[in-house]
Structure 1
Amino acid sequence: MTDFDPAAALAAAAEGDQKAWNAIVTTYSSLVWSIARGFRLSTADAGDVVQGTWLRLVEHLHDIRDAERLPGWLATTARREALNLIRRAGRDLPVDDVDGLGAAAVAPAVDERLLRDESQRVLWQAVSRLSHGCQRLLRVMFADPAPSYETVGAALDIPIGSIGPTRARCLAGLRSIMTD
Structure 2
Amino acid sequence: MSAVVWATVVRPRGTRVDRAWAGRVEQSEVGDTVRRAAAGDKAAWDAIVESFSGLVWSIATSYRLGQADAAEVVQTTWLRLVENLDRLREPERLGGWLATTAGREALRLLRLRGREIVTDDEGRFDDAPSALPNPEETALGAERKRQMRRAFAKLPERCRRLLHLVIVVSPPYAEVAAALEMPIGSIGPTRARCLDRLRKLLDADGGSGSAVGC
Give the TM-score, by structure 1 length: 0.63
C-alpha displacement of 1:165: 5.3
- 1:150 is aligned to 2:174: no
C-alpha displacement of 1:20: 0.5
Structure 2: how far apart are the matches of 1:16 and 1:120?
A: 51
Which residue in 1 is equivalent to 2:168? 139
Q: 1:48 to 1:58 in 2, by over 3 A?
A: same
Aligned mate of 2:64, from 26, 36, 40:
40
Structure 1 runs of 4+ aligned residues shifted over 4 Å read 117-122, 131-135, 164-170, 172-176
Q: Percent identity?
A: 39
What runs of 5+ residues in structure 2 fail to find an aligned partner? 1-21, 130-144, 153-159, 200-209
Residues 1-180 of structure 1 aligned to structure 2 (within 5 Å):
1-2=22-23, 4=26, 5-94=29-118, 97=119, 99=121, 117=124, 131=148, 136-137=164-165, 138-141=167-170, 143=171, 145=172, 147-151=174-178, 153=180, 160=187, 161-163=189-191, 166=194
Q: 1:51 to 1:120 in 2, by over 3 A?
A: farther
Amino acid at match of 1:136: H
Amino acid at match of 1:140: V
C-alpha displacement of 1:52: 0.2
Highest Rg: 1 or 2?
2
Structure 1: how far apart are the matches of 2:128 and 2:46?
A: 35
How many residues align? The count is 147
Task: Tell me which of the two structures has the higher relative contact order, counting C-alpha pairs closer than 8 angstroms and 6 or more residues apart.
Answer: 1
Q: State the secondary structure of the residue aligned to 2:80.
A: helix
Structure 1: how far apart are the matches of 2:128 and 2:91?
A: 38
Judge conservation of contact 1:34–1:140 (CA < 8 Å) in 2: yes
Give the TM-score, by structure 2 length: 0.54
Q: 1:43 to 1:146 in 2, by over 3 A?
A: farther
Alpha-carbon RMSD across the aligned residues, in angstroms, is: 3.8
Instruction: String of CA shifts for 1:44-86, please: whole Å, max 9, x gaps.
Output: 1011001000000000011112122211111111111111111
Structure 1: how far apart are the matches of 2:115 and 2:176?
A: 33
What runs of 5+ residues in structure 1 fail to find an aligned partner? 100-113, 123-128
